[in-house]
Amino acid sequence: MNENDTLVEQFGECTFPNPAGYDYWTDEKSVVLFQTIFSGQEDALKTVQNNPVFFEQAGPKEKIYFAPGEVTAAIVTCGGLCPGINDVIRALVMELHYRYKVPRILGFPFGYEGMVKKSGHRPVELTPDKVAHIMNFGGSILGSSRGNQSTTDMVDTLCLYGVKMLFCIGGDGTLRGAQAIQDEVKKRKEDIAVVGIPKTIDNDINYVQKTFGFSTAFSKAVEAVNCAHEEAKGAPNGIGLVKIMGRHSGFIAVNAALASKNVNFVLIPESDFDLEGKGGFLEILKERIKRRGHSVIIVAEGAGQKYFEDKGEKDLSGNKKLADIGLFMKDKITESFKKDNIPLNLKYIDPSYIIRSVPANAEDSVFCGFLAQNAVHAAFAGKTGCVVGIWNNVFTVMPISLAIAERKVLRPEKSTLWRALLASTGQPNSMKATQ
């Protein structure tokens, strides 16, 4: 990555005074250093002086690009559900209405599908009264959907309703859609700010320290894990097996294990493992059962996909359809113990849809508010084709293209998080068979 990769597109000069009425403003040139760890002072000085990469700091600017009284803003939520979506919607509406005095805020129902005329959906007007208490509920008051829609039709709809800023709440697929909308808007030379607010409980958006809903998700997952522990220790040779969301990354699985402190094995997409053979998972699991009499296992949904035939199937969002590793592991463990005549009491728990459908916890709710407010600040400052996030505990704005360039994954070979996980569970550094 170089310094040009982090440059956010700007419509033009900001000339209107910001009506938000804050006591202080974020300087237009304020930046956040990308790299924070160096091999020494000399390396730090050399990097900063010769080849620094910065993110733009998010926040309200004293001068803004759009005249607030002429703005129609719109919000769309796409993809799978996630704790905190309603908190983001609420905070967007409150900031737009009360601080920036925006006269009209629209919500497109059922994701990008609601932005296409042929779908038959129509936008709903969002007011403070309508959104005042929605943070108490999970899901999205606007609904959601998956799948690609015609970009030209969506931009036609934005122009039809006179939308000047569109806030897209969603994950990788949603942000790709937002980028396509931005490209079409740019081609038409329209002044429509497109700002993404990254939403994924998997916490796998590139160059975003954490996404909203993640804290709630792994906190809720801990409840299932602790129940699995009670089941496991309450029976001879008891095993509690919990499947947790995480298509490409194991962040929820690892954090749930660290928070629970009752987990003995965590299987994630980023760390390959073998089932059979010396040093393989099943052998190590049996040793644990013989020694301790019970075990708790977390498996992320994207783990162990090498054991299934790749049929090339994709869901409506274009994501590869995954085989069910949870049920596969349940069957394999049962078969292996039966083969060796080892008694077994296995309980399998899949709390996936419970985890993603609950309201945000207090920490996530606060975080959602910050993200939404900074998205509004970015749009009014004339920023477009961008994503708001957090990096090194500072809220940032970066291009959508950078956020979707690749997925963020946990890297076991250099991750302090994985190192802490190994210390907590006691599982081996590797569960690859040696023969």
Residues in Cβ contact with 276 at an 8 Å cutoff, skipping those fewer than 6 apart: 282, 283, 433
Nearest to 97, CA basis, from 60, 56, 126, 123: 126
Would the annotation count 301 as a binding residue? yes
Would the annotation count 245 as a binding residue? yes
Which among 202, 274, 350, 364 is annotated as catalytic? 202
Would the annotation count 80 as a binding residue? yes
Residues in Cβ contact with 191 at an 8 Å cutoff, skipping those fewer than 6 apart: 11, 66, 164
CB 158 within 8 A of CB 192: yes
String of DSSP letters for 217-271? HHHHHHHHHHHHHHHHHTSTTEEEEEEE--SS--HHHHHHHHHH---SEEE-TTS
- Indicate the SS3 state at residue 346: strand
Would the annotation count 247 as a binding residue? yes
Would the annotation count 152 as a binding residue? no
Burial 49-83 (b: 16+ CB within 10 A, else e): eeeebbbbbbbbbeebbbebeebbbbbbbbbbbbb
Would the annotation count 239 as a binding residue? no
Would the annotation count 170 as a binding residue? no
Look-up: residue for tokens 């080892």? 342
Would the annotation count 36 as a binding residue? no
202 noted as active-site residue: yes
Cα–Cα dist 165/36, whole Å: 33
The token pair at 22 is 């804050």
Would the annotation count 75 as a binding residue? no
CB atoms within 10 A of CB 47: 16
Would the annotation count 355 as a binding residue? yes
Would the annotation count 364 as a binding residue? no
Would the annotation count 87 as a binding residue? no
Look-up: residue for tokens 């040139």? 29
Report residue 162 CA to chain centroid gap. 30
Cα–Cα dist 355/183, whole Å: 35
Would the annotation count 151 as a binding residue? no
Would the annotation count 353 as a binding residue? yes
String of DSSP letters for 151-205? HHHHHHHHHHTTEEEEEEEESHHHHHHHHHHHHHHHHTT---EEEEEEB-TT---
Q: Which residues are catalytic?
A: 202
Question: Residues annotated in the binding site for substrate, as ranges?
Answer: 200-202, 245-247, 301, 353-356
Q: Which residues are annotated as a binding site for ATP?
A: 80, 146-147, 171-174
Annotated binding site: 80, 146-147, 171-174, 200-202, 245-247, 301, 353-356
Residues contributing to the annotated binding site for Mg(2+): 172
